[in-house]
Structure 1
Amino acid sequence: MQQNPSQRSIRALSAMNFSLADVRDGLGPFLGVFLIGHGWAADEIGYVMTLGGLAGMLATTPLGALVDATRFKRTIIAAAAGLIIVGTLALLISTNFWVVAGSQIGTSVFAAIIAPAIAGLTLGLVGQTGLARQLGRNQAWNHGGNVVSAILAGAFGYVFGLIAVFVLMIILAIASIISVYLIKPSEIDHDVARGLEPSAQHRNREPSSIVILLKSRALVVFGITIFLFHFGNAAMLPLLSQSVVSRGLADPSAYTSATIIIAQGTMIPMALIAAWVAQRRGFGIVVMAALIALPVRGLIAGYWDNPWALIPVQVLDGVGAGLLGVATPGMVARLLRGTGHVNLGIGGVMTMHNVGAALSPALGGFVAAHYGYANAFLALAAVATAALIFWAVGSRMEGKAYAATA
């Protein structure tokens, strides 16, 4: 079924994705340099980030099921944005280990519902037919928001310090809440939003459960691939910033902002290209291209010990993450089309994402603290190579399922 949402709702969806870019991940890569400025070591930062990631991991799948069941997707996104800000502001009160850990756990749980909620909202507005194109737009606006916020954070952070990052997050959280409520609720088809087909809207309404996900072998293969990708990927950006800042080679705010700007600037065209390719060739080829970029990124970071390495390293980050940002929800929506459990599936895959992202800082931080930053990048590159090999083998075995997503 082709949905025809109004321009007001589509523009509001774009504005929401733009504004949420600087909110959903909390301090993101700024967390590492913020904590280094308060005397934290690389491994301690890795451990506290892992605690937050594990909390998000445990929350994502049940929260995906909640998105399938609820008709209050806009309110969920608005509430999550507000609570992430509250959790992040706690860091201004104290940088005690348990305060920081509590902040990261809370913000990770609140952030865990945003991805499936946005995917469900998008699917409910545009349907399966318009999904790939709209996912590309969503990601392009999201990455554009990251670029703009990184430029502002770097500029104001250079003048006023990292406190500017907190102020910027508050402003953008308010903007995201306003934007989400400008989407017309009457234009959201909540049956389509969970993956039901028009002819099946009175079937397959049983509550979502993890068992449903395990029945799809193709989805399991994809989930493991996503786990390995983010296990190798998540720690690279914060480690790159920590490596340079800890040696006094660059201003913390400016350098961290530069890493974000380069990556996110690359992600904008990559998201649009991913949507274009997915409409014609399916999402499988998009996933493969993303996986190829990551090992190369790790090798460059490991062997080129220079602040300027951030340019090729972050361009490749933009290629990988930009492609997967579109391919992940799109692949799940196609694999689970007609089941009524699409958002549960997105939650399940995002759980695998979060497991990998949670383990990545612990591995990277441990290796960096004991064997140096160069070896940490090489260890992460080895994990990235494993992701590429696993997908190459798994996608060949499940070729029919992935071909059906085209």
Structure 2
Amino acid sequence: MKPGRALEALSFFVADVQAGIGPFLGVFLQARGWGADQIGTVMTIGGIAGMLATSPAGALVDATRHKRALVVIAGVMTVLASGLLWISHAYWTVAASQVVTAITGAALGPALAGITLGMVRRDGFDRQFGRNQVANHAGNVVAAALSGWLGWRYGFGAVFALSAVFGLLSLVAVSLIPAGAIDHDAARGAGTDAGADACADSAAPTTGFRVLLQCRPLLLLAAALGLFHLGNAAMLPLYGLAIVAAHQGEPSAFTAETIVIAQLVMVVAAMSANRLIRWRGYWWVILLTFLALPARGLIAASVIHAWGVWPVQALDGIGAGLQSVAVPALVVRLLEGTGRVNVGQGVVMTVQGAGAALSPALGGILAQRFGYPVAFIALGAVSTGSLIVWLGFGASLRHACTSTANVPREPVDEAAPSAS
């Protein structure tokens, strides 16, 4: 298997590993007597842990020459943490499981981005990472469909077993990537011409938040994404809870349906992202993702019915699918030449995580006290802050996002370790 194909296989199988049992957590705990506020707060605890871990995880990816081993350790720990939920449903046991899942999951994002950059270099990153994300979303579709069917047929225990199987297959995939295929200097964005990049300063210290503070476009990107995820992160689990509470669907099957619809749209969005970036630039593509969320909140509030999952999750798929390709690629573009690309990825993920960590608690409290429609409208309203940031600083952001010095070029061979 070519290294690039092995990387895509890893992205496929790691999809079901990275977030543990993911959206099934809400309905799993609800079936065991948990309220929406308790579910929201325990997810927030995990989100905070993941938020705090992403910047150090990015620094670790930049520093280590054992990136494949890092993926293996993170994958194994995530599967074990998910299995802990099956053993005990006590509040602090569940919280501990979510903390471990969030910390190990936080390492997988920068690790996969760093491995990709080290294999195909800057010129091949956009195209190969787009393929990785198509595979990742396809993995989510398959895992969610199987989880929904297995959960309906055999109970939630089968969902945990499936996560373990995907974990084992991800270990096989990472073993198929030759160690020599990864250039670890290229993987952190070092050894390139830093003079052309908006945020490159080879003399600057490499600490995580200094990267963010020294690069204004990166700071604005992170702030906009933090506000977006404050409104977005709770939308899917809350919508699933709302439908189940209204007796509009069987918990496992409906939760799987919400994931499958969103992930299928994400596959198409991720496939289109690289072409859209070349056509309109990063700024316009990311703006499109910010526009989708307020509309999603209004629809979710208006249509708490089984068929409402189609427009609600289709909008989620557009936003998340485009962001999954455009955001990491933009961070690479901004920080090329600094040797701190994965620190930057981690820092942006930290700010995103801050919004995502607070979102379930905010949404859960609003849903518990005022009902699900109010929660959806409030979450959609909060997310308009991302539009204010992105449009308010549009001139400087467009310049940073479309600088001709950094327009992505087609790679010679995106799967070859020496691509340039």
Question: For this structure pair, what is the TM-score category when the shorter chain's length is used for normalisation?
Answer: over 0.9
1:29/1:209 Cα in 2 relative to 1: closer, same or farther (>3 Å)?
A: closer
**One-letter amino acid of the counterpart of residue 68, structure 1:** D
For 2:100, the equivalent position in structure 1 comes to: 106
CA distance in 2, matches of 1:305, 1:75: 44
Deviation at 1:206, TM superposition (A): 5.8
**One-letter amino acid of the counterpart of residue 193, structure 1:** A
For 1:330, the equivalent position in structure 2 comes to: 329
CA distance in 1, matches of 2:212, 2:97: 30
For 1:26, the equivalent position in structure 2 comes to: 20
Q: Deviations over 1:279-300 (max 9, x none)?
A: 3443222101111111111110
CA contact (8 A) 1:302 1:374 kept: yes
1:80 lines up with 2:74 in the alignment: yes
For 2:211, the equivalent position in structure 1 comes to: 212
1:176/1:240 Cα in 2 relative to 1: closer, same or farther (>3 Å)?
A: same
CA contact (8 A) 2:193 2:337 kept: no
CA contact (8 A) 2:332 2:341 kept: yes
For 1:54, the equivalent position in structure 2 comes to: 48
Deviates more, 1:260-269 or 1:271-280: 271-280
Deviates more, 1:244-253 or 1:128-137: 244-253
CA contact (8 A) 2:192 2:336 kept: no
Deviation at 1:210, TM superposition (A): 2.1
For 1:371, the equivalent position in structure 2 comes to: 370
Deviation at 1:249, TM superposition (A): 2.0
Q: Deviations over 1:331-386 (max 9, x none)?
A: 10001011110000000000011111101101100100000000000011001222
> Structure 2: which 5+ residue stretches go unaligned?
195-201, 408-420
CA contact (8 A) 1:205 1:340 kept: no
For 1:242, the equivalent position in structure 2 comes to: 241
For 1:253, the equivalent position in structure 2 comes to: 252
**After the TM superposition, which residues 321-400 of structure 1 pair with which residues of structure 2 at under 5 Å, given as runs?**
321-400=320-399
CA contact (8 A) 2:248 2:305 kept: no
CA distance in 2, matches of 1:22, 1:85: 10
Q: Deviations over 1:164-209 (max 9, x none)?
A: 1101000000000110111111111111110123467xx6696444
For 1:4, the equivalent position in structure 2 comes to: none
Q: Given the two structures, how large is their TM-score scaled by the length of structure 2?
A: 0.92
**One-letter amino acid of the counterpart of residue 61, structure 2:** V
CA contact (8 A) 1:232 1:380 kept: yes
1:167 lines up with 2:161 in the alignment: yes
**One-letter amino acid of the counterpart of residue 352, structure 2:** H
SS at match of 2:375: helix
SS at match of 1:197: coil
CA distance in 2, matches of 1:280, 1:74: 34
SS at match of 2:249: coil
Match of 2:145 among 140, 148, 151: 151
**One-letter amino acid of the counterpart of residue 271, structure 2:** L
1:125 lines up with 2:119 in the alignment: yes
For 2:418, the equivalent position in structure 1 comes to: none
**One-letter amino acid of the counterpart of residue 159, structure 1:** R
For 1:221, the equivalent position in structure 2 comes to: 220
Match of 2:179 among 161, 175, 185: 185
Deviation at 1:401, TM superposition (A): 1.5
Deviation at 1:66, TM superposition (A): 0.7
Q: Deviations over 1:127-180 (max 9, x none)?
A: 111111111101100000011111111111111011111010000000001101
CA contact (8 A) 2:208 2:347 kept: no
CA distance in 2, matches of 1:326, 1:8: 22
CA distance in 2, matches of 1:205, 1:176: 37
Q: Deviations over 1:35-59 (max 9, x none)?
A: 0011000000000000000001111
SS at match of 2:13: helix
CA distance in 2, matches of 1:277, 1:379: 30
Deviation at 1:396, TM superposition (A): 2.4
CA distance in 2, matches of 1:358, 1:204: 34
CA distance in 1, matches of 2:273, 2:389: 21
Deviates more, 1:150-159 or 1:203-212: 203-212
Deviates more, 1:241-250 or 1:91-100: 241-250
> Structure 1: which 5+ residue stretches go unaligned?
1-6
Deviation at 1:115, TM superposition (A): 0.5
SS at match of 2:393: helix
SS at match of 1:398: helix
SS at match of 2:355: helix
1:92 lines up with 2:91 in the alignment: no
CA contact (8 A) 1:19 1:173 kept: yes
For 2:416, the equivalent position in structure 1 comes to: none
CA contact (8 A) 1:135 1:275 kept: no
SS at match of 1:113: helix
CA distance in 2, matches of 1:325, 1:401: 19
Deviation at 1:9, TM superposition (A): 0.6
**One-letter amino acid of the counterpart of residue 179, structure 2:** P
CA contact (8 A) 1:197 1:337 kept: no
CA distance in 1, matches of 2:357, 2:258: 21
CA contact (8 A) 2:283 2:397 kept: no
Q: Deviations over 1:44-81 (max 9, x none)?
A: 00000000000011111011011111111111011101
CA contact (8 A) 2:208 2:344 kept: no
Percent identical: 47
